[in-house]
């Protein structure tokens, strides 16, 4: 974390003091609906330019506004009933501004320990600056491009930027002449599979021939698979993988030996070895492995650091809904997952939403703590993607019944997606990461 100027620290302390006063007063937060005309007048008075701009593309007949004493505002997410509930938070100087920390919604009474992620912040900061240069920083800006039929150029620009970032990482790998294995990790639906394939092409352009090994091949038999607290198989813990076999295979490959890569059958829960899966590694070849434990050195304890290159993926959208309503990275990935699970696994939106807390818990334990171990970080978000995913996600979310526990979350996601003008899936390039979720990719999965 960078040292902040003294004036920033003073300002942060003043803001924190005011926030604590609001908590102490326990002021009621209420809401009411007003007409479109009244909302436009209110937003103009408040100077909320992006929110006002978004009204041009949604045009609701009635607008819900939130009220705190004589202050009116629009917020798209759920709100607490009074300021007294918001007693658990932390305000701290960070970089050129400040950081507001608050509890996760699944544990609202506890603030987790702060862990600085400077590499991730730098990637996000650079992406925000890129958005400002293109003058596309909000959903209203994106919708404007859609309405004015200028979205195709923006799609090309965003895809080109991401490809340039992948190309840069490939160059970093090539410069690390000792690297023999590229380990790619990231949370669910961060685009690990497509990134592996796009990175492979970039490496080949540099004269390096990649071979891919899936970590899924190294799951142990069900008889050895650990179980979680509910008694279900825990495929996300490190112990679910055959670490000894993986490391022995890697050591043998790096020593010029031939090995048989195992195959794992998810239906029977068994591991097998077939002659067709024999593999060796030539001098100009490199391994690529993607999986949630890639950045954890306990995955590859027998492999010296100089032989490894680690990449962390994260879908960090730089867009905001408007002046002060941000887009959740987790919600972005959940919508990706809902679409992919239905397209390729036949799972309902309710089914994906139901398992999401468990997925997020696994990420907190096995992925996020190792972000700083990465040699490179790639942002896999594409600013236009939610306008495409909406085409698929909207009807799936509307099928969640009011009698199902996932109904409230489905309604919240539908309300969120209502802010986006749709983009036809045909506008998505065949090798885009988005194709991993909607289908029609030029890559074979």
Q: Residue 154: is its pLDDT beyond 80? A: yes
Nearest to 172 by CA among 123, 208, 197: 208
Lowest pLDDT segment from 3-7, 49-53, 165-169, 302-306: 3-7
The percent of residues above 70 in pLDDT, for the chain, comes to 99
Res 4: pLDDT: 58
Residue 2 has pLDDT above 60, yes or no: no
**Residues in contact with 67: Cβ distance below 8 Å, sequence separation at least 6, in sequence order:** 29, 30, 31, 32
Render pLDDT for 82-126 as a digit per residue (tens, 0 to 9).
Answer: 999 999 999 999 988 899 999 987 788 889 889 899 989 999 999
Residue 138, phi-psi category: left (phi > 0), alpha (psi -120 to 50), beta (remainder): beta
C-alpha distances (whole Å) from 234 to each of 226, 238, 264, 347 are 6, 9, 15, 20
Beta-strand ranges (E) seen in 235-372 are 259-260, 263-265, 270-272, 278-279, 285-290, 308-314
260 vs 228: CA distance, rounded Å: 31
Work out the end-to-end distance of the chain between its first and last CA atoms, rounded to an integer number of angstroms.
Answer: 40
- The pTM score is 0.90
- Judge whether residue 416 has pLDDT over 90: yes
Q: Are 180 and 287 in contact (CB under 8 A)?
A: yes
Rounded CA-CA distance 222/242 in Å is 12
- Does the pLDDT value for residue 150 go beyond 60? yes
pLDDT (0 to 100) of residue 375: 97
CA quadruple 404, 361, 93, 16: dihedral positive or negative? positive
- Residue 3's pLDDT band, with cuts at 50, 70 and 90, is low
Average pLDDT across the chain, whole number: 93
Mean pLDDT, to the nearest integer, of 40-54?
Answer: 90
What is the structure's pLDDT at 1? Answer: 44
Rounded to an integer, what distance in angstroms lies between the CA atom of residue 53 and that of residue 317? 20
């Amino acid at each position: 974390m960078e040292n902040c100027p003294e004036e920033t620290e003073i300002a942060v302390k003043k803001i924190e003091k005011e926030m604590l006063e609001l908590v102490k007063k326990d002021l009621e937060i209420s809401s009411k609906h007003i007409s479109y005309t009244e909302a436009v007048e209110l937003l103009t008075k408040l100077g909320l330019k992006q929110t006002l701009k978004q009204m041009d593309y949604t045009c609701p007949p009635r607008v819900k506004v939130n009220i705190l004493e004589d202050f009116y505002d629009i917020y798209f997410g759920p709100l607490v009933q009074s300021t007294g509930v918001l007693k658990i938070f932390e305000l701290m100087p960070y970089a050129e501004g400040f950081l507001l920390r608050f509890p996760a919604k699944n544990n609202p009474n506890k603030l987790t320990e702060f862990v600085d992620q400077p590499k991730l912040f730098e990637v996000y900061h650079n992406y925000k600056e890129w958005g400002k240069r293109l003058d596309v920083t909000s959903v209203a800006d994106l919708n404007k491009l859609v309405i004015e039929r200028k979205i195709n150029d923006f799609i090309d620009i965003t895809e080109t930027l991401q490809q340039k970032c992948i190309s840069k990482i490939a160059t970093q790998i090539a410069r690390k002449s000792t690297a023999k294995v590229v380990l790619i990790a990231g949370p669910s639906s961060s685009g690990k599979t497509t990134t592996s394939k796009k990175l492979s092409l970039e490496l080949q352009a540099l004269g390096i021939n990649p071979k891919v090994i899936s970590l899924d091949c190294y799951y142990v038999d069900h008889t050895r698979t650990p179980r979680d607290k509910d008694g279900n198989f825990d495929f996300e813990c490190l112990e679910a993988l055959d670490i000894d076999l993986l490391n022995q295979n890697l050591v043998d490959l790096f020593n010029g030996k031939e090995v048989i890569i195992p195959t794992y059958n998810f239906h029977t829960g068994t591991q097998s070895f077939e002659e067709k899966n024999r593999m060796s590694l030539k001098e100009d070849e490199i391994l690529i492995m993607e999986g949630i434990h890639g950045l954890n050195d306990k995955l590859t304890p027998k492999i010296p650091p100089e032989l490894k290159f680690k990449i962390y993926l994260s879908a960090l959208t730089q867009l905001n809904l408007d002046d002060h309503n941000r887009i959740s990275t987790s919600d972005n990935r959940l919508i990706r997952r809902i679409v992919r699970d239905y397209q390729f696994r036949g799972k309902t939106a309710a089914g994906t939403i139901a398992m999401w807390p468990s997925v997020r818990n696994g990420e907190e334990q096995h992925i996020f703590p190792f972000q700083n171990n990465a040699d490179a970080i790639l942002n896999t978000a594409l600013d236009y993607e939610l306008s495409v995913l909406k085409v698929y996600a909207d009807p799936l979310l509307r099928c969640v019944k009011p009698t199902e526990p996932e109904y409230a979350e489905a309604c919240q996601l539908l309300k969120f997606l209502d802010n986006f003008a749709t983009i036809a899936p045909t506008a998505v390039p065949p090798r885009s990461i988005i194709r991993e979720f909607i289908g029609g990719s030029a890559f074979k999965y």
